[in-house]
Amino acid sequence: MAKKTGKDTTEEKIMIAARKVFLSKGYAASRTRDIAEEAGINLALLNYYFKSKEKLFDIIMLENLKHYAGGIMHVVNDEATTIDRKIELIVDQYITNLIAMPDLPIFVLSELRNHPQKFIKIVQGDKKLSDSVFVKQYLQLVKNKKAVKMHPMHLFANIIGLSVFPFVTAPVLKGIGNVTQEQFLDLMAERKKMIPKWISMMIYNK
Amino acid sequence: MAKKTGKDTTEEKIMIAARKVFLSKGYAASRTRDIAEEAGINLALLNYYFKSKEKLFDIIMLENLKHYAGGIMHVVNDEATTIDRKIELIVDQYITNLIAMPDLPIFVLSELRNHPQKFIKIVQGDKKLSDSVFVKQYLQLVKNKKAVKMHPMHLFANIIGLSVFPFVTAPVLKGIGNVTQEQFLDLMAERKKMIPKWISMMIYNK
DNA sequence: AAAATATTTAATCAAATGATTAAAATGTTT
DNA sequence: AAACATTTTAATCATTTGATTAAATATTTT
């Protein structure tokens, strides 16, 4: 008889259910019973495997934070790629990920509000963006009069914001903009090419 | 003896407390007891005046939605102002409001996820953006070869996103960007002038 | 001032919720 | 298969939480 591994495990069934429930409702509105039911397991097993709702949540949150922030850090700090290419890669990766997980940003951002202390360590674990290769490259361009001078935070806010914001506000955009889900996804795919051009205009002023 | 009016009223004390508590924690994480304590009143008074937590929440949410979306609709549909001026006005109004109420967007957006049905009527009450004066003016520019052609949703997403997103993600930006609260506010004020220029570049391709 | 009405309080309810326990079932090792 | 360990279940706890009630207090009306 085959040994249970991977997704057959009770533990993994709980994780999958927890991802779904926490992601869609947030910590406070999620009930351990919701997760147990979604996983098709007895409620007590949740505590048996994960001790508490909070511990389970922390695991899921850490996973998601890595997923949300981790993917781009190596791009940001790669010495070999130009700043223009970095922007293309970051935007592409964000939008591709978000099409697959559209409710990730609201989840992360709203939990970040509710438990800021929980994220400080994790966020601070990453190298500060202010001394990343990306910023170094940008400041070099400014020095050489190739780029418009602005605080690098504007750059990050714009790159991430233009990529992420439409997903955060998707229901509104669809509602007031007369856009179907399918059209929405097409528009998001379009943005993969448009955003780098827009950012280029901002940086190079042309 | 002076009659109680305005902010002296128990009802208004509860409203003020509810705004604060709901805004900072969201519906699910807010306890009616938190609100009562914050207001300095007996818990039963909350139900005496507002019947239920949900009814109180609906009032606060409606208030905030109007505050968040209502302010710009008359600008968007004003025939007399140019599209460039509209953009300046919208960005200025958003950022000014958000500096005063920085946690409004996360609140609205995360509750929008949790109770989408509650917003549909309110949002649909507004005229669709797709047949606003703003869009009409933009399409006219495109027709006259003055503006780059794109789906108007990109325009809205960009204007609102560039204005709002930094506030939604402020803790992250401050954390990873080495920016103090004071610097953050200065940068946001800067954006009032920068965003309209960036949007102009996108529209006019220069 | 007395009566009527409105507001406030303390106590309590019922349901929901996170967690635990003891026993049963299942799986593994010897 | 017996002994041991792991996993699962049903029942139950203890708190928390939204809400209600009846009595007390304050305010307004007559």
Short-list B116, B135, B122, CA closest to B59: B122
Q: Would you call A153 and B187 a contact, using CB atoms and an 8 Å cutoff?
A: yes
| Contacting residues 44-73/B vs strand D (CB within 7 A) | 44, 47-48, 51-54
Mean pLDDT of A97-119: 89
pLDDT confidence tier of residue A3, bands split at 50, 70 and 90: low
Give the closest nucleotide to A31 (alpha carbon vs C1').
C17
The whole-chain average pLDDT of chain B stands at 91
Q: What local confidence, expressed as pLDDT, does residue B117 receive?
A: 73
Mean pLDDT of A82-102: 96
Partner B contacted by A160 (CB < 8 A): yes
pTM: 0.91
Phi, psi dihedrals of residue B128, rounded to the nearest 5°: -60, 135
For residue A126, list chain B residues with Cβ-Cβ distance below 8 A: 176
Q: Is the pLDDT of residue B54 over 80?
A: yes
Q: What local confidence, expressed as pLDDT, does residue A125 receive?
A: 61
Q: List, for residues B149-197, the tens digit of each pLDDT value.
A: 999 999 999 999 999 999 999 988 887 788 999 999 999 999 999 999 9
Judge whether residue B14 contacts strand C, using its CB and a 7 Å cut-off. no
DSSP, residue by residue, B164-198: HHHHHTHHHHHHHHT--HHHHHHHHHHHHHHHHHH
Q: What local confidence, expressed as pLDDT, does residue B1 receive?
A: 41
Show which positions of strand D are touched by protein (CB under 7 A): 7-11, 16-22, 28
Q: Would you call B166 and A157 a contact, using CB atoms and an 8 Å cutoff?
A: yes
Q: Is the pLDDT of residue A1 over 50?
A: no
| Contacting residues 34-53/B vs strand C (CB within 7 A) | 41-45, 48
For residue A65, list chain B residues with Cβ-Cβ distance below 8 A: none
Whole-angstrom distance between the N-terminal and C-terminal Cα of chain B? 66
Whole-angstrom distance, CA of residue A4 vs CA of residue A8: 6
Nearest residue of A to residue B117 by CA position? A171
Other beta carbons within 10 angstroms of residue B193's beta carbon come to 11
* CA–CA min distance A63, chain B (Å): 17
Whole-angstrom distance, CA of residue A136 vs CA of residue A108: 28
- Provide the CA B1 to C1' C1 distance, Å, integer: 20
Structure tokens at B121: 């009527």
Other beta carbons within 10 angstroms of residue B157's beta carbon come to 24
Q: Would you call B177 and A152 a contact, using CB atoms and an 8 Å cutoff?
A: yes
How many secondary structure helices (H) and strands (E) does chain B include? Answer: 12, 0
Q: What local confidence, expressed as pLDDT, does residue A66 receive?
A: 82
Structure tokens at A100: 């697959």
Judge whether residue A43 contacts strand C, using its CB and a 7 Å cut-off. yes
Q: What local confidence, expressed as pLDDT, does residue B91 receive?
A: 97
